[in-house]
Amino acid sequence: MNYSFVIGFILSSLFTSLASRDKNEAMLVNSAADITKGNSTPNLNESQMRIKVGTRTFTATLYDNATATAFKARLPMTVTMTELNGNEKYADLPDNLPVKASNPGAIQNGDLMLYGANTLVLFYKSFSTPYSYTRMGRIDNPTGLAAALGSGNVMVTFALE
């Protein structure tokens, strides 16, 4: 009788081990397939973003706030940005993002901000401002940004790294 119990225990352990091994192998195969397929599910924890203007691509760092997180969930996104005041481009987004606006005092070349709840603004010149914005991020190296954006309206693509 003890013998039957020991055999039953061994067989049960063996089946559990094999089932676990098959599950782990399946997970590894699925992960490898995702990598080779270039799984394009956005990583909302990622803080790096690409901003493509014409043939130029800029890298931006997004801030850790609710506005940037909500924006990342909508990427990739291509918008026509409209020229304003010779220092910024803006685009109205289809829906509102969370806001926490404040007056930054000064805008820096490469700042990416939200005006109101749905106006995305990319600044290409530094200046003082009386307006309030919600900070979303900034271009790491904005050298050449003004030239890439040009003087009129422009198509801009935002995507996670």
* Residue 12 to residue 30: CA distance in whole angstroms: 27
52-109 confidence digits (pLDDT tens): 999 999 999 999 999 999 999 999 999 999 999 999 999 999 999 999 999 999 999 9
Instruction: Specify the pLDDT at position 22.
Output: 42
DSSP 49-92: EEEEETTEEEEEEE-SSHHHHHHHTT-SEEEEEEEETTTEEEEE
Q: Which CATH number is 81's domain given? A: 2.40.100.20
State the amino acid at position 99 in one-letter form: V
Query: Are 113 and 52 in a shared domain?
Result: yes
Claim to verify: residue 108 and residue 52 sit in the same structural domain: yes
**64 and 33 inside one domain:** no
pLDDT of residue 135 exceeding 90, the answer is: yes
| Nearest CA among 137, 145, 151, 147 for reference residue 67 | 137
78 plus 13 within the same structural domain: no
- CA terminus-to-terminus distance, the chain: 63
Regarding whether 100 and 34 lie in a shared domain, the answer is no
Mean of the per-residue pLDDT values of the chain = 81
Banded model confidence at residue 14, pLDDT cuts 50, 70, 90 = very low
- Whole-number pLDDT of residue 59: 98
Identify the pLDDT of residue 2: 58
Domains of the chain: total: 2
Range 100-119 average pLDDT:
97
* Same domain, yes or no: 82 and 103: yes
Across the range 121-138, mean pLDDT stands at 97
Q: Is residue 28 domain-shared with residue 90, that is, in the same domain?
A: no
Distance of CA 141 to the CA centre of its chain: 18
Quote the domain boundaries for residue 29: 1-39
